[in-house]
Each structure stands twice: as structure tokens, then as C-alpha cells.
Amino acid sequence: MKVIIVRYSEIHLKGNNRDFFESALISNIKFVLKEYKYDFARSNARYIIRNFDETQIENIIDALKNVFGVHSLSVALEVDSVYEQISAAAIQLAPASGTFKVSTNRADKRFPTKSMVLSADVGGDILERNPRLKVDLFNPDNTVYIDIRENGKTFVYTQSIKAVNGMPVGTGGKGIVMLSGGIDSPVAAYMMAKRGMTLRAVHFHSFPYTSMQAKQKVLDLAKLLKKYTLHITVDVVSFTEIQTAIHEKCPEEYMITIMRRFMMRIAERIAKNTGAGAVITGESLGQVASQTLESITSTNSVATIPVFRPLIGFDKDDIIEIAQKIGTFETSILPYEDCCTIFLPKKPVTKPRLSAVEKVESVLDVDALVDNALGNIETIVIE
Ligand code: ATP
Ligand code: MG
């Protein structure tokens, strides 16, 4: 019978927490496989998927590969632990040409033949069927793995498919990701989901200065992220009133700095209202004027909960590479304006002093503006 072996990653190191991590992982696996029929079993430090529709195997593998916490997958033949069946399975999976070796793991010590001997015998059977093959024990093109389990069953397989690794979503607390339409913030979201965070997104838009397409683009990005985050809700906050107030009352070179502080305050309030414990941004040190240490200091100073910036030490090229890998890049580069591009100062301060920022901002009724924005949220659950 064809089965899928699902191996998990560092979560098995978590001692007493193991049940917590495993139950999150299992429920996430079941979530991504909800449209398929299959049997699921736990078998020390791995899961076995059986009795699935084999015509769907590519889709099932693709779904499993992207579940955080999954380390690798193998499609295996499961046979009874008797020599003839093991050998027949190995012959079936053996490569057509090149070099190979057989590698045996005998977890079931009741199995009569020692690993080395079994590998040699099965290798001999494979060679007999296909004399064009050659054995190479040290640097083979292909390896046929035989894994003799304690339950009287044996898995035979040749490939390990690398999965995403990371920690199961749901084990790392809850975070609010500030999601713009750009390249960086979706990557930041991906990275924190990979550490097990459950995410909710906030997006600031300035209708009518920014278009409905700009908002739709962010919802499209959230939909792409859902593949990894499993669930995601986007709070779309109208930022127009705040931007207009800053534009009217503050020196234009402080526009971006003060906007960022408002975004942070609102994100934090949403975090508190929804039981989240952190805010996540796509900032990368020095990338633009608003991402100098001084700018980050002035944004950070309004936050009272941790702000995670997983891209802080990344080059743009590296961020783009991840965006391409996770499938958000093509959407991120679509040309829609962001609210940060309106009222854009000609010469933004690159090294704002916190005391100066606070003084400039003091002409605004910060609390009222934040409260108004919070009262003006459109919440969209991404399906
Ligand atoms: P990105 O590619 O994520 O847009 P960026 O390089 O354009 O980032 P900035 O525009 O300086 O950088 O934004 C820094 C961070 O602030 C973003 O990564 C995002 O987390 C947050 N942010 C910016 N604009 C918005 C917005 N309109 N709504 C929500 N978050 C935003
Ligand atoms: Mg941006």
C-alpha cells in the first residue's frame, strides 16, 4: 500500500510541551487536508497518511509540505515485515539506472535478519533484476530505504521531500502584522507564522486618496498568506482623517514619522482588543528614510508590547527571494499606491529626534484620532 510518511521537526525536542505542539501540528495537518479522505495515524515521531486517493497525491504532498512543523515527507510502500514483500517493494522502487545502495533501519529487533545483511540481500535482488545498475555504498545516486517498524510493517521508500520546517501555527502566541501592499510585510508575516504565531493583519488605507484596488491587493496578499497562516483576518483601517490632520498641522518633513507612530498605536490597540501580544512589521534597517535607527526609535516608543521585525537584518534581494519562494512577490509588485505615498514630503527627516517628534505631534489630539480610526474598521475574514 502506498502511504505518506510525515516527519516533524524541532517540536519533538520540546519535552513536556510535546503534546501541545503535536496537537497543534495534527490539527493543522487535518485543516489543510480537509477536502481529502484519508486515514491518519501517529507512529513514534512521525505520522502516517494511508488510504488516500492516489490521483490526489501531488496535491496532498503540496499541502503537507507547507505546514509549519513538518520537516520532511516520503511516499513509501508499506508491506508486511517479511523478506519477500520487502524485496519486491525495493525492486519496484529501485532506480532504472545509475548507482544505488540499500539502507536498512531495523527498529523491530525481532526481525530475523540484521540490517547490513538485509541491505546486501535486497541489493542483490535489485541487481539481479537490473544488471545495468551498480552498487555504490559511499556516494550513490539513489538510496532505497527500508524501515522495519515494531508493528510488523515495513516502509520502503527512496525520496525525502523537504518541507517548510518551523513551528506549528498556534504554538507561538498571536501577533498583529502590519500588512502594506509591498514586498516586505508579507514576508515578515510568513516568517512569524513559521515560528508558530497565529496572525491577524491590519492594513491602513486612505480612501479616496488610495484606490479600492490598493485595498484589494492587500486582501489578495492575505489570501496568499493564508496557505501558511491557515486562518487570517484583515482589519482595514481608514487612515484618511489622521493623514489629513498630520498634513494640516505638522511640518511636512515629519509626516512619515508621525504616521508610523499612529499606525503603531492603532495596531497595538487592535492587538489588545483581540488578545494578541505582539505587532509585526516588515521593516529592514536602513532600507528607507523611515527605517533608520532613529526613525524606528520614534515609532517603537509608542508601543508597549513587543514589536517583531523579522526582516531587520535582511537585504532587499534576500527578502525578494523569499517573497518569490512563498508566492507573494508577483502580487506585491503590482503597481498600486500605498497610503505612505500620498502627501509624501519632499525631504523627510531621516534621523528624527524623539523629543522633536513628540513636540511636533503634540498639536494633534492623538487619543481622539486613534479612537476614531478604531471605530472605523472594516474587518474581513479571508476565506
Ligand atoms: P513593505 O514592502 O512591507 O510595504 P516598505 O519597504 O515599503 O515595506 P515602509 O513603507 O517603510 O517599508 O513600511 C514599513 C512597514 O510598515 C511595512 O513593512 C509594514 O509592516 C508597515 N506598513 C507600511 N504601510 C502600511 C500600511 N498602509 N498598512 C499597514 N502596514 C503598513
Ligand atoms: Mg511599503
Confidence label for 16 from pLDDT (cuts 50, 70 and 90):
confident
Residue 178 CB–ligand 1 contact under 6 Å? yes
DSSP state of 79: E
- Closest ligand 1 atom to Cα of 340: 24
- pLDDT of 182 strictly over 70: yes
Is this structure's pTM higher than 0.85?
Answer: yes
- pLDDT of 349 strictly over 90: no
What is the distance, to the nearest Å, from the Cα of residue 170 to the centroid of all Cα atoms in its chain? 12
The number of CA neighbours under 13 Å toward the Cβ of 363 is: 12
Helix axes 366-374, 240-249, angle to 10 degrees: 160
- Closest ligand 1 atom to Cα of 288: 11
121-128 mean pLDDT: 97
93-121 mean pLDDT: 96
Instruction: Enter the CATH code of domain 174-381.
Output: 3.40.50.620
Are the CB atoms for 306 and 278 separated by under 8 Å? Answer: yes
Are the CB atoms for 125 and 131 separated by under 8 Å? Answer: no
Q: How far is CA 225 from CA 73, 326, 327, 352, in A?
A: 22, 8, 9, 34
325-347 mean pLDDT: 83
Are the CB atoms for 234 and 347 separated by under 8 Å? Answer: no
Quote the CA–CA distance of 278 and 175 in Å, as a whole number.
5
Cell of residue 360, nine digits: 511636533
Q: Nearest ligand to the C-alpha of residue 218?
A: 1
DSSP state of 292: S
Closest CA to 80 of 5, 151, 158, 2: 151
Q: What type of residue sits at position 130?
A: N
Q: Nearest ligand to the C-alpha of residue 320?
A: 1
- Closest ligand 1 atom to Cα of 260: 16
Mutate to test the pocket of ligand 1, among 176, 177, 178 (most ligand atoms within 8 A of CB): 178
Task: State in Å: Cα 122 to ligand 2 middle.
Answer: 58
Q: Using CA positions, which residue lies closest to atom 12 of ligand 1?
A: 283
Of 167-181, 213-227, 281-295, which range is least confident? 281-295
Topology of the domain covering 2-162 = VC0802-like (3.30.2130)
Per-domain residue ranges of the chain: 2-162, 174-381
Per-residue confidence (pLDDT) for residue 14, from 0 to 100: 63
The pLDDT tens digits of the residues spanning 207-260 come to 888 888 899 999 999 999 999 999 999 999 999 999 999 999 999 999 999 999
Are the CB atoms for 78 and 41 separated by under 8 Å? Answer: no
- pLDDT of 339 strictly over 70: no
